[in-house]
């Protein structure tokens, strides 16, 4: 049996609870903030969407990265998560 620290236990429990929260139809509001640093190629807003160019080292996720990871992990079980 693996021994885990209390911090690891809390993180695992938080992951499980947020996964359950997402799988029953909920979502996170303002899951992340994208800090865009490339002034030449910028994201475009059109047709009710955002189009982000693929440019290495041009963006940083600066808010709540754990929730973003949970969304990605949960999407593996239910691919409709990303379209809510």
pTM: 0.41
59 has which bridge partners?
36
More confident residue, 1 or 10: 10
Q: Are 43 and 53 in contact (CB under 8 A)?
A: yes
Tens-place pLDDT, residues 22-59: 888 877 666 667 778 888 888 999 998 989 888 888 87
The pLDDT score that the predictor gives to residue 22 is: 81
Domain range summary for the chain, segments of one domain joined by +: 6-78
Radius of gyration of the chain (CA): 16
Tens-place pLDDT, residues 6-25: 766 666 777 788 888 888 88
């Amino acid at each position: 049996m693996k021994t885990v620290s209390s911090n690891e236990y809390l993180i695992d429990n938080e992951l499980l609870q947020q996964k359950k929260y997402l799988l029953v139809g909920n979502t996170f509001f303002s899951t992340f903030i994208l800090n865009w640093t490339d002034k030449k190629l910028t994201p475009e807003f059109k047709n009710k969407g955002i189009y982000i160019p693929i440019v290495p080292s041009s963006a940083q996720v600066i808010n709540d990265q754990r929730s973003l990871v949970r969304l990605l992990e949960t999407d593996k079980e239910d691919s409709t998560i990303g379209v809510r």
